[in-house]
Amino acid sequence: MTRPKSQTAALMSSPEDIEAEFYEALQLADLERLMAVWADDDEVVCVHPGAGTRVIGAAAVRASFEAIFANGGVPVEPTQVHRVHSVGSAVHHLVEQLQIRTAEGAQTAWVLATNVYVKTAQGWRMVAHHASPGQLGEGPALPEPASTLH
């Protein structure tokens, strides 16, 4: 269901509101609603999980989600949110639970996501979404110091 932009904007009075909007828009493959979440800025950044590349700027972010939505909505549920709130900004870190199709059938995948929100003159907006694969099929991610690179 696509809502008028004005109605959507009224729902963006906190980082929690805008985060809920983001995931609902993802689930519904609602591009307009999704892009209403993002700041209209040339420097916003999005990293899709496993892509190995980054997408910079609202126009490029829109194009990247348009391509994803060509396959329909994303069955994603945000879980285990950690928050660092300060004046005018909020960093949320969460574990996204995704249902994916694999050669072995449906599986649950875990994705680690950092979402950054900033309070603008228009209300709270997303300025960064960085997602990367979590451990597949092993349940929620747990702290672990091991790393290949750093």
Q: Which residues bind a copy of itself (CB under 8 A)?
A: 26, 39, 41, 43-45, 47-56, 60, 63-64, 66-68, 74, 76, 82-84, 86-89, 91, 93, 95, 98, 100, 109, 111-112, 114, 116, 118-120, 127-128, 130-135, 141-150
Q: Which is nearer to a copy of itself, 36 or 111 (CB)?
A: 111
Q: How far apart are CA 49 and CA 19, in angstroms?
A: 18
Q: How far apart are CA 98 and CA 26, in angstroms?
A: 11
Tally Cβ neighbours within 10 Å of residue 60.
15
Could you say which DSSP state residue 103 is in? Answer: T
Amino acid code (one letter) for 63:
A
Q: What is the dihedral of CA 96, 99, 101, 102, to 10 degrees?
A: 60
Pull the structure tokens for residue 76. 């994603």
Q: Which is nearer to a copy of itself, 7 or 83 (CB)?
A: 83
CB of 138 to a copy of itself, least distance (A): 8
CB of 5 to a copy of itself, least distance (A): 22
User: Beta 45-47 vs 123-133: how paired, if at all?
Assistant: parallel
Q: Which is nearer to a copy of itself, 4 or 142 (CB)?
A: 142
CB of 4 to a copy of itself, least distance (A): 25
CB of 90 to a copy of itself, least distance (A): 9
Q: Which is nearer to a copy of itself, 32 or 43 (CB)?
A: 43
CB of 113 to a copy of itself, least distance (A): 8
Tally Cβ neighbours within 10 Å of residue 45.
16
Q: Which is nearer to a copy of itself, 6 or 147 (CB)?
A: 147
Q: How far apart are CA 40 and CA 65, in angstroms?
A: 15
